[in-house]
């Protein structure tokens, strides 16, 4: 930290993204990206005509994409906010809705704690139950803004809609933010509830099921007043938050829903295969509704297994954190990638005599 930086950031622990190493070609199962490229329609949309307009600023209110997202989810354009990745939507939500503090699980998306620290927001960290499920009773009448990743990360577990309803209804004076980054891989979305509750904000991303992590595009769906609040924050920080090419890519993606649905079906199928094979190898695997599995084995400690896989060219995610340091979070890729993972695990256990 330079001597010029505001001292209030001295103790800030920043978010550590999954590694993107360039030293060799890895099978990358560590950041929950899609193994499939964007739809051919996206490639067509990012054409030279669009590139030739890059000297002009993009539309700051994202008119076309907002309209198409609204049609896709059966809401009005005023119910849609678009962000530079869902991380930006979450960032703005921490800025906008956490005057009375925030609440989230002890094991969930790590960025929630970072945003809370960044804005000096009082955070109530609620332990998941021993089986890593969310205890609904812990989230009633909290009197603060609530963040729930559903399915949760890194566990992959889903909280059913009736439980979420209870949480929303018992916290009527605070916003409940349901982060549905992984919802297209299983579970029921809360989007259908946004017309019923003015304190529900549903956040989704193009980074996983829509193969656009590199484009940086996320959105929130909620009551028009909440959307207007987020828009106010955006226009006070970065009005042109979505670049032209990403706007075009986002719209084109929505014109090829079948391509993405089909990819999700493949991921779910590969998740089933991976789970079965991991169990055969002696792993415990949580019942994932997302594009990753969370698994542990008595045969080798999580950190050691992560390193051995990396040495053999397979990257997975290991969190050196209480309660979960025995676990690996493994992104579900293509069938070939998952077969390579299983074969490599067998080799490691054989070589190490475990
Ligand atoms: N929410 C959750 C639960 C996530 O795992 C991620 C991905 N790291 C995000 C939000 C952010 O995704 P993005 O900014 O790429 O939309």
- Is the CB–ligand 1 distance for residue 181 below 6 Å? yes
| Cβ atoms of residues 352 and 291 within 8 Å | no
- Is the CB–ligand 1 distance for residue 302 below 6 Å? no
Q: What is the pLDDT of residue 23?
A: 83
Q: Tell me which of 109, 159, 219 to substitute to probe ligand 1's pocket, judged by most ligand atoms within 8 Å of the beta carbon.
A: 109
Q: What is the pLDDT of residue 150?
A: 98
- Is the CB–ligand 1 distance for residue 213 below 6 Å? yes
Q: What is the pLDDT of residue 92?
A: 98
| Ligand 1 centroid to residue 107 C-alpha, Å | 15
In ligand 1, the atom with minimum distance to the C-alpha of 86 is 16
| Ligand 1 centroid to residue 346 C-alpha, Å | 31
pLDDT in tens, 25-80: 999 999 999 999 999 999 999 998 999 999 999 999 999 999 999 999 999 999 99
Q: What is the pLDDT of residue 28?
A: 96
Q: What is the pLDDT of residue 337?
A: 98
Q: What is the pLDDT of residue 238?
A: 96
- Is the CB–ligand 1 distance for residue 331 below 6 Å? no
- Is the CB–ligand 1 distance for residue 212 below 6 Å? no
| Cβ atoms of residues 201 and 175 within 8 Å | yes
- Is the CB–ligand 1 distance for residue 97 below 6 Å? no
In ligand 1, the atom with minimum distance to the C-alpha of 84 is 14
Angle (CA) 187-190-192 rounded to 5° is: 115
Q: What is the pLDDT of residue 323?
A: 93
Q: What is the pLDDT of residue 244?
A: 97
The span from the CA of 335 to the CA of 35, in Å, is 10
Model pTM?
Answer: 0.97
- Is the CB–ligand 1 distance for residue 109 below 6 Å? yes
Closest C-alpha residue for ligand 1 atom 12: 86
- Is the CB–ligand 1 distance for residue 220 below 6 Å? no
pLDDT in tens, 89-118: 999 999 999 999 999 999 999 999 999 999
Q: Which residues of the chain have pLDDT under 50?
A: none
- Is the CB–ligand 1 distance for residue 179 below 6 Å? yes
| Ligand 1 centroid to residue 87 C-alpha, Å | 6
In ligand 1, the atom with minimum distance to the C-alpha of 218 is 16
Closest C-alpha residue for ligand 1 atom 6: 181
- Is the CB–ligand 1 distance for residue 177 below 6 Å? no
Q: What is the pLDDT of residue 176?
A: 98
Q: What is the pLDDT of residue 21?
A: 86
């Amino acid at each position: 930290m330079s001597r010029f930086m505001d001292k209030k950031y001295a103790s800030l622990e920043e978010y550590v993204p999954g590694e993107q190493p360039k030293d060799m070609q890895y099978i990358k199962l560590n950041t929950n990206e899609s193994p499939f490229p964007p739809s051919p329609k996206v490639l067509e949309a990012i054409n030279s005509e669009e590139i030739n307009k890059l000297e002009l600023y993009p539309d700051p209110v994202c008119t076309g994409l907002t309209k198409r997202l609204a049609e896709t989810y059966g809401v009005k354009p005023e119910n849609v906010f678009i962000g530079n990745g869902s991380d930006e939507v979450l960032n703005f939500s921490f800025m906008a809705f956490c005057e009375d503090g925030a609440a989230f699980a002890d094991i969930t998306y790590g960025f929630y704690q970072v945003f809370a620290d960044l804005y000096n927001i009082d955070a109530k960290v609620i332990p998941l139950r021993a089986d890593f499920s969310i205890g609904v009773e812990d989230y009633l009448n909290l009197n603060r803004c609530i963040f729930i990743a559903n399915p949760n990360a890194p566990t992959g577990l889903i909280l059913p809609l009736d439980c979420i309803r209870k949480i929303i209804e018992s916290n009527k004076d605070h916003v409940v933010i349901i982060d549905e980054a992984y919802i297209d891989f299983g579970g029921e979305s809360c989007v259908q509830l946004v017309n019923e509750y003015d304190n529900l904000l549903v956040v989704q991303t193009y980074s996983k099921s829509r193969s656009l992590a590199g484009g940086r595009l996320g959105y929130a769906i909620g009551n028009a007043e909440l959307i207007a609040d987020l828009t106010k924050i955006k226009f006070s920080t970065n009005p042109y938050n979505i670049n032209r090419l990403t706007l075009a890519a986002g719209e084109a993606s929505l014109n090829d829903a079948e391509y993405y649905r089909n990819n999700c079906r493949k991921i779910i199928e590969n998740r089933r295969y991976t789970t079965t094979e991991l169990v055969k190898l002696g792993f415990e695997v949580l019942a994932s509704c997302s594009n990753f599995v969370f698994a542990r084995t008595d045969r080798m400690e999580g950190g050691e297994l992560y390193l051995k896989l990396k040495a053999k060219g397979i990257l997975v995610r290991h969190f050196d954190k209480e309660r979960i340091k025995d676990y690996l979070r493994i992104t579900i890729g293509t069938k070939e990638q998952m077969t390579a993972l299983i074969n490599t695990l067998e080799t490691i256990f054989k070589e190490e005599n475990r």
